Amino acid sequence: MPQPVLDAFTKEYGITVRCFSFQSPEEAEEHIMSGKVYDVVLIENQLFPALLEGHFLAEIDLANLPNFKNISANFRDLAIDPGNRYSVPASYGTTGLVVRTDLVGNNLKGWADLWDPQYAGKIGLRAQPREIIGLTLKTLGYPFASENPRELEAALNRLLELKPAIALLDIEADEAVRRLLQGEIAILHGYAEDYHEAHEQNPAVAYVLPVEGTALWNESYAVPVTARNRQNAELFINFLLRPEITSQIINEKKYAQPNDAALPLVNPEIRNNPVVFPSDRELRNGSTILPLSPGGKKLYADIWHRFMTEKP
């Protein structure tokens, strides 16, 4: 969250906000389920079914969020939370490859290209099991969210083939762009914010959406049951939904947010940038990261654990 936004909230309401970052959706889920105290969390939509089933989230009183009216109708009342009783849509975007074209050229077009020997030792992957496993499944012609054990085993074998070519695995978010710019890696599994941060310092950095189709992620604000300041939590979320505040977040973080009232206030270069606001074609070709079944979650956790621990 941009510090000027937090400072503006503190100045107006006298409430100080402390922010903590999760390295992955799985880490966020673990923290919330373990009872760690947060007043507001920004989490991926794929986590909501399990968190709701376990009664880890508090109901949000939309009467205290008059700015909820600014949220695009396309993002309200989703299957993960009918009526938005527990979630407030916050942001969405794509997963791509952030590429140093000055180091590896312009031929990289998709996820499958990572297995090309010319890129060995130049690849950096984040700790995002759903994205990495899902996009690997797509290179094999399987569904992004397959729960077929045979298909997942094939994806694991393919990932283990790639493992020796990976220079940095499980990169922390705060380190990813720096390591790309320093040349420790030339290809980063990343997002629009990574691209813009890197491109501003090196114009040779490009953002590639995999030809197999991108992974589409959605995030929402929620209030854990452990929140000590629920009234302040709703006050903060409503503040973030103000058009002038949402547009400020988009302009700085360069992530799309489904706030119709904020769009006219967004820098036109950002508003019209398909890296930030994907085209309809990219959205149709992409795969939304939807929740897995309980059995599917166990399968993916096992595949990821084996990928991280087994030798090729």
Q: What percent of the chain has pLDDT over 90?
A: 82
**What pLDDT was estimated at residue 169?**
86
Distances (CA, A) of 252 to 4, 5, 246: 10, 10, 10
Cα separation, 108 vs 170, in Å, equals 22
- Choose the weakest-confidence range: 110-114, 288-292, 298-302: 288-292
- Residue 288's pLDDT band, with cuts at 50, 70 and 90, is confident
**What pLDDT was estimated at residue 285?**
87
**What pLDDT was estimated at residue 59?**
97
Cβ proximity of 130 and 28 under 8 Å: no
Cβ proximity of 65 and 234 under 8 Å: yes
- Choose the weakest-confidence range: 22-31, 46-55, 64-73, 237-246: 22-31
Q: Which CATH class is domain 3-92+216-285?
A: alpha beta
| pLDDT top residue among 15 and 291 | 15
Per-residue DSSP letters for 193-255?
Answer: HHHHHHHHH-TTEEEE--TT--EEEEEEEE-BTT-S-HHHHHHHHHHHTSHHHHHHHHHHH--
Distances (CA, A) of 155 to 190, 290, 310: 20, 19, 14
Q: Once rounded to an integer, what is the mean pLDDT over residues 165-184?
A: 87
End-to-end distance of the chain based on CA atoms, in angstroms? 39
Q: What is the mean pLDDT of the chain?
A: 94
**What pLDDT was estimated at residue 232?**
97
Instruction: Give me the residue label for tokens 């491109």.
Output: 199
Q: Once rounded to an integer, what is the mean pLDDT over residues 158-180?
A: 89
Q: Which residues contact 85 (CB under 8 A, 6 or more apart)?
A: 59, 60
**What pLDDT was estimated at residue 209?**
92
Residue ranges of the chain assigned to CATH 3.40.190.10: 3-92+216-285, 94-215+291-309
Whether residue 57 is predicted with pLDDT greater than 80 in this model: the reply is yes
Whether residue 295 is predicted with pLDDT greater than 90 in this model: the reply is yes
| pLDDT top residue among 291 and 65 | 65
Amino acid (1-letter code) at residue 141: G
Can you say how many angstroms the Cα of residue 168 is from the centroid of all Cα atoms in its chain? 19
Q: What are the tens digits of pLDDT across the range 214-266? A: 999 999 999 999 999 999 999 999 999 999 999 999 999 989 999 999 999 99
Domain 94-215+291-309: give its CATH architecture: 3-Layer(aba) Sandwich (3.40)
Cα separation, 62 vs 238, in Å, equals 9
Residue 41, both tokens: 């969390």
Helix (H, G, I), strand (E, B) or coil at 106: coil
Helix (H, G, I), strand (E, B) or coil at 7: helix
Q: What are the tens digits of pLDDT across the range 90-104? A: 999 999 999 999 999
Q: What are the tens digits of pLDDT across the range 296-307? A: 999 999 999 999
**What pLDDT was estimated at residue 129?**
92
How many alpha carbons fall within 13 Å on the CB side of residue 136?
Answer: 27
**What pLDDT was estimated at residue 26?**
87
Per-residue DSSP letters for 52-93?
Answer: HHTT-BPPP-GGG-GGGGGB-GGGSS-TTSGGGSS-EEEEEE
Q: Once rounded to an integer, what is the mean pLDDT over residues 263-276?
A: 94
